[in-house]
Structure 1
């Protein structure tokens, strides 16, 4: 599930009014913080008004809809006070007292400082009200019983606030605050238990939420896939790097969120994410291509499939086209130990994506109709062994399961 937030991300321009000059800086800071908090995506329906809610958030327990967080009195948060808003973000409790579902990550936002929470509140209250009632959530029993969240919170909602590590630098602590509180990276990138709680002993170790699984972004895992500070900076600010393009839920997270981070905050976030590892070498130096003969079956048919379907864009040597087609020779998805995301992309394709600047990734077609499970497994193994440094052990059953899961979600 895409983790929702009780905030918006990118807003309508604030028009200063006479006598409010002293508040302008607070509102502008609030706008920056809501962007850093990655909130716009969950509270804006496709084709709908910004922040007016209605976006469906599919979870293992049913569908939750992002709420209206414009300052409309009837359908939004127009009647919320600073204290009401703070309680929603820190305790998961709405103004009328009902419990919020933890798809709104109050378990993480509880780490936000009061100053930051207030700034976000004043930014949201400066926006144009939009009258729009978001649909009611559609959760399976017993998860549709909100009173049960009282007990969930007793088990999993910790108290306390963000505490800097005195043994770390100011930059590192700022990066940790951005990742753990504002950016709430762990809400997607940390595996969850059977009750939906994050497994903190596996923090940032990757999860199986959504069609494209959030990968392991612990420092060592990032380094092993070839991520360096400069490549992470490019990815988080532009959505692109030599290691690939933002896809799935990361695309809107970059477009509406991390691209707006200041240089200082971007450096701080990267410092935290790459903590404890030596500066990794480039992917070509750290990950040697495996022998294609290791792949299950004869690699020759897979090479022919690649040349027929993929080489026109990615080139026969896998180098791609700058700013248009990502290279495969250094692609991070190919280097993931679990082939799930690679299989999903080959089955489903990727829509056309416009990135900041002049880069535009062409749409990639899905090949679910053109390739059967055996052909798909051969192609996946070819890509993983040729450019991913991974074993060619993807089976027909692996492909079939992802094909079935997509069919089930479409029902």
Structure 2
């Protein structure tokens, strides 16, 4: 996302425009359907608030932002980079000095629902824009679980933001314009399973926060829900029904992917890897099925077969030579992959994306070794930024896309250079 320089005068004019727009910004009331969907959670946790809270905290992926790799659980400190500056996950342990030990259940609900804590307005880097859809009962269960955790005396780190985004009062105007009671859906459905999946993906899982493009002020673009968005080095792909079907995803494949991190279309990497590691693998089979149903819709489109792509023979031969030299040892001579080592190339979801961005980044940067649920793992994929030239990487990308991704061989050396 590109942010234009903002002068003080322009910032004040924009804030004034926000106030004007807020007068006509209606909100969609969908609380009844969401509350009903929330009540469809795992029956095994219904009688145990702490167990239910633990499940909800996993489903909401709280650890991703509130637990560092070497820190105490929920003690905060995770860096969250953005075009506006750097945010830091806060301490949500029951520590009374640095955490939420002095909060009531009402306070937590207000933070999740409105982005307001007892002492400040939160920035929407905390996804209350999605959590706003949580039921009060689920908020209370999350509160009970968090208050039962071990307090951690870890101080919070204030956001490092540029002007005027470091002025918290501006978030109030942002909320008046952009905060809605429910987010738009990319699929259609009416079944109880679809509605449960909607609650899981839209409210708890906050999928839109990464997969929906944003406007100039960081607001979700409601006209393009889940169509994919820039997300740091790796782009979050299109997960609309059309986008998923175009890359060969079925409901069964999605369930397998959420549960294990691996499917016929490839393995989770980038920001999706910790989502599986910290969150989706812990969901019940019924909830995984519901979430897949929501993403594809009640009338799921059929997964699309690979298209046959014509490409220049000499160009493909050059790309295959690069593939045989640096890729075939792990991915196989014919892209068949190796169990516990490397995923197959045929039909790989990254190769089937119309935009080669993620493929180029993976080739440049590599992908670290990954441990998945059970005994499954994928070994490290090295990056080739120093080993291969821009032209060679473009040849390799075109060979992979045209041969196993059904995409045109249109990656240029300049496109590779731009991502170095």
Please give the TM-score of this superposition, normalised by the length of structure 2. 0.86
Residues 202, 162 of structure 1: CA spacing in aligned structure 2 closer, same or farther, 3 A cutoff? Answer: closer
Structure 1: gaps (5+ residues): 2-21, 404-411
Which stretches of structure 1, 4 residues or longer, exceed 6 Å deviation after superposition? 160-163
Q: Secondary structure at the match of 2:87?
A: strand
Moved more, 40-49 or 103-112: 40-49
Q: Report how many aligned residue pairs link the two structures.
A: 376
What is the CA-CA distance between 1:119 and the residue it aligns to? Answer: 0.4
Which residue does 2:22 correspond to in 1?
Answer: none
1:78 counterpart (95, 101, 111)? 101
Contact 2:341 2:378 (C-alpha < 8 Å) held by counterparts: yes
Once residues 335 and 359 of structure 2 are traced to their aligned partners in structure 1, the CA distance between those partners, rounded to angstroms, is 15
Superposition pairs of residues 194-343 of structure 1, within 5 angstroms: 194-275=216-297, 277-278=299-300, 280-281=302-303, 286-293=305-312, 298-343=315-360
> Structure 1, residues 265-285: CA drift from partner, whole Å, max 9, x if none?
11111111111554534x6xx
Contact 1:112 1:161 (C-alpha < 8 Å) held by counterparts: no
Please give the TM-score of this superposition, normalised by the length of structure 1. 0.88
What is the CA-CA distance between 1:23 and the residue it aligns to? Answer: 10
Which residue does 1:95 correspond to in 2?
Answer: 118
Contact 2:212 2:227 (C-alpha < 8 Å) held by counterparts: yes
What is the CA-CA distance between 1:288 and the residue it aligns to? Answer: 3.0
> Structure 1, residues 97-141: CA drift from partner, whole Å, max 9, x if none?
x11010101111111000000000100000000110132211111
Superposition pairs of residues 384-399 of structure 1, within 5 angstroms: 384-399=401-416
Once residues 270 and 294 of structure 2 are traced to their aligned partners in structure 1, the CA distance between those partners, rounded to angstroms, is 23
Once residues 95 and 374 of structure 1 are traced to their aligned partners in structure 2, the CA distance between those partners, rounded to angstroms, is 56
What is the CA-CA distance between 1:400 and the residue it aligns to? Answer: 1.1
Which residue does 2:200 correspond to in 1?
Answer: 178
Once residues 312 and 324 of structure 1 are traced to their aligned partners in structure 2, the CA distance between those partners, rounded to angstroms, is 10
Q: Secondary structure at the match of 1:202?
A: coil
> Structure 1, residues 61-82: CA drift from partner, whole Å, max 9, x if none?
1110000111100111111101
Once residues 23 and 172 of structure 1 are traced to their aligned partners in structure 2, the CA distance between those partners, rounded to angstroms, is 21
Once residues 308 and 191 of structure 2 are traced to their aligned partners in structure 1, the CA distance between those partners, rounded to angstroms, is 38
Once residues 272 and 167 of structure 1 are traced to their aligned partners in structure 2, the CA distance between those partners, rounded to angstroms, is 7
Structure 2: gaps (5+ residues): 2-44
Matched, 1:57 2:80: yes
Once residues 359 and 183 of structure 2 are traced to their aligned partners in structure 1, the CA distance between those partners, rounded to angstroms, is 38
Residues 229, 256 of structure 1: CA spacing in aligned structure 2 closer, same or farther, 3 A cutoff? Answer: same
Residues 166, 303 of structure 1: CA spacing in aligned structure 2 closer, same or farther, 3 A cutoff? Answer: closer
Which residue does 1:113 correspond to in 2?
Answer: 135
- CA RMSD in angstroms comes to 2.1
What is the CA-CA distance between 1:235 and the residue it aligns to? Answer: 0.4
What is the CA-CA distance between 1:372 and the residue it aligns to? Answer: 1.4
What is the CA-CA distance between 1:289 and the residue it aligns to? Answer: 4.1
> Structure 1, residues 207-244: CA drift from partner, whole Å, max 9, x if none?
01211111000011101111011211110000001100
Once residues 279 and 267 of structure 2 are traced to their aligned partners in structure 1, the CA distance between those partners, rounded to angstroms, is 15
Once residues 271 and 183 of structure 2 are traced to their aligned partners in structure 1, the CA distance between those partners, rounded to angstroms, is 28
Which residue does 1:147 correspond to in 2?
Answer: 169
